[in-house]
Every structure is written in C-alpha cells, then in structure tokens.
C-alpha cells in the first residue's frame, strides 16, 4: 500500500506588499495616534470606528485611471454573490456611515478615524498594500469656518506630536480658483481641461518655463524625448501661468494676484473669496502665514476636491539615500469634497476633511529624533530557584502595581547567563536577582543593565568602583530602588 503523500509545509513569508510590525513600531505609532486623537477630541470631534469591509457599491469608483471592476481593492463575493471589499481609505466609509445614520447624527457631524486601509496596487519601496490612515472630517456644513478649523487642527496636531513651529507649513489653495482659471483660458473640452490639470501638476518638476512649453506645443524632457503639449495659445496659457506664479510676499498680495488670474470668472472669484475668509478666520485665532499660508502651488488632488484644498509640508532638511540634503515634504492633505455623500442620498452634502500619512509622520519624527527605533523593555526578575517561583511572582506583582513594566523569566533557568542574554535582547533596563543567600538575608540584588553596559564598554576599573551598577537592597526597598534607577536612566 502506497504511503500517504505528505503535504508540503507552508512557507513562512509575509505576502508581497505587506509587512509585520514589532514592539517599538507598534507602541510609537499608538502613542502618536493617541496624541493626535487628543487634539481632535479637544476640537470637539468624536471617534468613529467603521467596518473594515464595505460593499464595492458603497466604495464607488476608487481609482480614476482604471476601468476594470474591483481593480485597486481586495474584493470578493459573499454567499449572496454581493461584492465586498476591504476599505481603501477612511473617507468613503464615512460617506456611507453618514448617509445611513444621518437621522441619528448631529449636523454638522465631526468625526475622526484611525486605522489600516488596503489597496491592491503594485507594491514598491516604501509603498505597501496595507497602511495606516488618520482622518478628521466635518460633514454637513458649507461654512469656511470648518475648513479653517481643519487647518488649525492639523497645525496643532503636528506640534502636539513633536514637529516644532517653523519646521512645517500648512498650504491652502482652492479648486474653485483653478476652475476659474480654466474658464479664463476659454478651454471647455473635458479632455483638454484634464490635460491642463496634468500640466499644472508638473509645475514643481519643470517650473514656469516647462509648464509654458507643455501648455503650448510641447517640450523635450531630460531624456531627450519630445512630450506633446496641450495646444493652448499664449493668451489661453496666460491665466494658468498667472495662477501658478501668484504667490506673493503676503496673503493680501497673493489674493490680489489670484483675482487677476481668474479674471471675470464667477467661480474663480468665489474661490478667492473663500480663501480670503479662511485666512481671516485663521488670523483671528492667531494662525499666521508662518504656520498656515495661502499657496496656489498646492495642486495635487484638485481633481477630487470641490473647494479649498490643503497640504501639510515639513520644511526641515533630511539626507536622502545618497547623502544629499532635501526637504522632508508632505505628510498630510485634505480639502472640501461636497459630492461624496450625494452618491447615497441624491442630495449634495457639504464636507471637508484631512488625512495624515501615519508612516510618513512617524518617519519624520524619527528624523527629528523625537522617537527612537528601540523601546525600553521590561524589568526582568531572574529565577535562581524554581521552587521560589511564588516569591518571584510577588516581586513582579509589586513592580506592576507601582506602574513599572516587569516580567519574570519563564525560560529554562538552569543557565543564569542565558537569563541575562534574554534581558539584553529585551532591552531591559534592570534585572532583579535573588537566590538562596538573598532570601535568607531578606535582600535582593538589583542590576542597572544600562549603566553596566556603558561601564563595560567605556570605563576604567577605577570608574567601575566609583559607579557600581549592581545594588543590594532590603527586599522591602525593591520597588523604590528600581524606580530611582529608572528615573536616573530617563
């Protein structure tokens, strides 16, 4: 009789585009999100935790550049043959929640949400299929006070987590201003308007002269390839260039330049008026251009938003992978989107929100030295006598009740060296040692592992004697001595 074929063991590997998060990564992210949540809560926003799974119908058309159904999300059919998908952001679920529960929710409804989202896209360096978002939105009011409030709250959140004033700026623009500029060009054909928008989006890369060429006949790129232009004449291109170069030395100057760019466009004038109102409301609260500034160069995402749009940029320098200095760049973005809820209700519901790139902001905090890559481990109570386990548990219980992170070594206690290696691997600051002699004398040995490592690496024998890293204290003084050592380490 043939032997049953063994099934191959599964390969222990993370799926492509996903990653695992350990210890310090998880706790530092949680601490940062908790700090941001505190700011949002202070502004009167309520927490919302919506389902990670939505119907594909509710999610809507999530990627504007693809036509294949369900491309870009992780989707499947349930037992009723209804298509479901993991959420790809936190805004589409908010639209569904508000439409579904609007009769029970206050208007306007302010909510913040934090959690993972999933996108079935091609992964790359720093680009994962699962990542965290941190959003805050106000639904149900068209007042520019809501937009100003979101900008102020974003500035406060950045400062709360450790980005100092002067190292960031929140830039504000308005889709209506751009619509006014398009009106001023006389371009009405949708494909040509889309081409103008794509060209505007390249302003940071190619500058004013490059945009001028791309709006006209075209230009040669850095590789020598010729890129066809949009085909606008000089008069048509003039409002676009005026818009892109309208940033002035003051808010009043910028707004005046924008009014010239939009000309007689009613939509454009309305957009400039909204920006003026936002700037006035922010100034009344003490938020000047050093923190929040009107800046027409913010063009990303303008195809999605219907009004004001904003972006938080970190302005301090870091070194890239080749050691060259560069600015850190954007960590958050948002704006007004008045059409999203209408998909469910048939009626336009005004809304404005912001989304913080969690991983980007964490990377920025690492670069600023606000958080380290390592987390201090627990105090480790070593085991010298298996029969005294209850005594060791009593020690660790007292430490925990005092608010000190601690654990008893639960591996094989036969080799004490292995216990100390374990404590080192855990990043433990202190080890507690007690054997038969210590129990007989009513004392414990407390070893400062941080100081011990420093002395072993740098100090002479004389300095070792002057700075002991191990202390014998009465058993009753265990908690107080550990607390003192941890305070000195901090």
| Per-domain boundaries in the chain | 15-142+338-375, 165-318, 379-489
Given this model, what pLDDT does residue 200 score?
83
Sign of the C-alpha dihedral computed for residues 248, 250, 253 and 255 taken in this order: positive
Given this model, what pLDDT does residue 61 score?
61
Residue where the block lists tokens 């938080």: 312
Q: Over the stretch 289-302, which tens digit does the pLDDT of each residue have?
A: 999 999 988 876 66
CATH of domain 15-142+338-375: 3.30.930.10
- The CA distance from 19 to 126, in Å, is 11
CATH of domain 165-318: 3.30.930.10
- Contact in structure between 62 and 92 (CB atoms under 8 Å): yes
Annotated binding site for L-histidine: 89-91, 119, 133, 137, 300, 304-305
Nearest by Cα to 227 from 208, 200, 246, 199: 199
Please list, in sequence order, all residues whose beta carbon lies within 8 angstroms of the beta carbon of residue 162, skipping any fewer than 6 positions away. Answer: 365, 368, 370, 371
Please list, in sequence order, all residues whose beta carbon lies within 8 angstroms of the beta carbon of residue 200, skipping any fewer than 6 positions away. Answer: 178, 211, 240, 243, 244, 299, 302
Torsion of CA 268, 270, 272, 278, to 10 degrees: -150
pLDDT < 50 regions, the chain? 62-68, 464
What are the CA-CA distances from residue 80 to residues 55, 83, 292, 359 (Å)? 12, 9, 50, 37
Angle at 335 between CA 313 and CA 294, to 5 degrees: 55
Sign of the C-alpha dihedral computed for residues 390, 394, 400 and 406 taken in this order: negative
- The CA distance from 50 to 488, in Å, is 43
395: left (phi over 0), alpha (psi -120 to 50) or beta: alpha
Tell me the fold of 379-489. Answer: Rossmann fold (3.40.50)
- The CA distance from 444 to 459, in Å, is 26
- Based on its alpha-carbon atoms, the radius of gyration of the chain, rounded to whole angstroms, reads 29
- The CA distance from 211 to 267, in Å, is 23
- Contact in structure between 78 and 84 (CB atoms under 8 Å): yes
Given this model, what pLDDT does residue 64 score?
42
Q: Over the stretch 450-488, which tens digit does the pLDDT of each residue have?
A: 887 777 666 555 554 555 788 999 999 999 999 999 999
Rounded to two decimals, the pTM is 0.83
Given this model, what pLDDT does residue 1 score?
59
- Contact in structure between 111 and 46 (CB atoms under 8 Å): yes
Q: Is 379-489 in the same CATH topology as 165-318?
A: no
Given this model, what pLDDT does residue 54 score?
94
- The CA distance from 368 to 370, in Å, is 5
Q: How far from the centroid of its chain's Cα atoms is residue 93's Cα? A: 18
Sign of the C-alpha dihedral computed for residues 310, 312, 316 and 319 taken in this order: negative
Annotated binding site: 89-91, 119, 133, 137, 300, 304-305
By CB atoms closer than 10 A (0-12, 13-18, 19+), residue 106 is exposed
């Amino acid at each position: 009789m043939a032997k049953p074929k063994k099934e191959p063991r599964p390969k222990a590997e993370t799926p492509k585009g996903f990653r695992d998060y350990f210890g310090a990564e998880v706790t530092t992210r949680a601490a940062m999100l908790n700090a941001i949540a505190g700011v949002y809560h202070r502004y009167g926003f309520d927490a919302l935790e919506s389902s990670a799974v939505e119907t594909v119908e509710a999610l809507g058309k999530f990627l504007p550049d693809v036509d294949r159904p369900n491309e870009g999300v992780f989707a499947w059919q349930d037992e009723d043959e209804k298509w479901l998908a993991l959420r790809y952001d936190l805004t589409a679920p908010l639209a569904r929640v508000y439409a579904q529960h609007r009769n029970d929710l206050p208007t306007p409804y302010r909510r913040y949400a934090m959690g993972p989202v999933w996108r079935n896209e091609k992964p790359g360096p720093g680009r994962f299929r699962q990542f965290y978002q941190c959003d805050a939105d106000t639904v149900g009011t068209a007042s520019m006070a809501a937009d100003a409030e979101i900008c102020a709250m974003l500035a406060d959140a950045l400062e709360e987590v450790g980005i100092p004033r002067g190292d960031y700026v929140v830039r504000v623009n308005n889709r209506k201003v751009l619509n006014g500029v398009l009106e001023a060009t006389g371009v009405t054909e949708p494909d040509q308007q889309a081409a103008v928008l794509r060209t505007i989006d390249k302003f940071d890369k190619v500058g004013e002269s490059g945009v001028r060429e791309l709006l006209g006949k075209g230009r040669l790129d850095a590789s020598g390839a010729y890129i066809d232009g949009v085909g606008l004449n000089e008069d048509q291109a003039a409002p676009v260039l005026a818009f892109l170069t309208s940033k002035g030395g003051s808010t009043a100057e910028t707004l005046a330049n924008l009014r010239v760019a939009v000309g007689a466009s009613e939509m454009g004038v309305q957009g400039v008026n909204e920006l003026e109102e936002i700037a006035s409301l922010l100034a009344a609260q003490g938020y000047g251009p050093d923190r929040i500034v009107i800046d027409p160069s913010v063009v990303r995402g303008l195809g999605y938003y219907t009004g004001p749009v904003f972006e938080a940029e970190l302005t301090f320098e870091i070194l890239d992978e080749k050691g060259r200095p560069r600015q850190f760049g954007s960590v958050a973005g948002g704006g007004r989107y008045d059409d999203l809820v209408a998909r469910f209700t048939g009626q336009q519901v005004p809304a404005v929100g912001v989304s913080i790139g969690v991983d980007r902001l964490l990377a920025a905090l690492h670069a600023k030295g606000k958080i380290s890559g390592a987390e201090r481990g627990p105090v480790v109570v070593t085991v010298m006598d298996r029969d005294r386990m209850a005594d060791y548990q009593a020690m660790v219980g007292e430490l925990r009740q005092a608010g000190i992170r601690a654990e008893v070594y639960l591996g094989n206690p036969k080799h004490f060296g292995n216990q100390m290696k374990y404590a080192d691997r855990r990043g433990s600051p202190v080890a507690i040692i007690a054997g038969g002699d210590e129990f007989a004398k009513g004392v414990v040995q407390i070893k400062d592992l941080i100081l011990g490592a420093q002395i072993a690496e740098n100090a002479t024998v004389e300095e070792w004697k002057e700075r002991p890293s191990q202390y014998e204290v009465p058993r009753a003084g265990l908690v107080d001595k550990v607390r003192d050592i941890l305070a000195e380490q901090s």
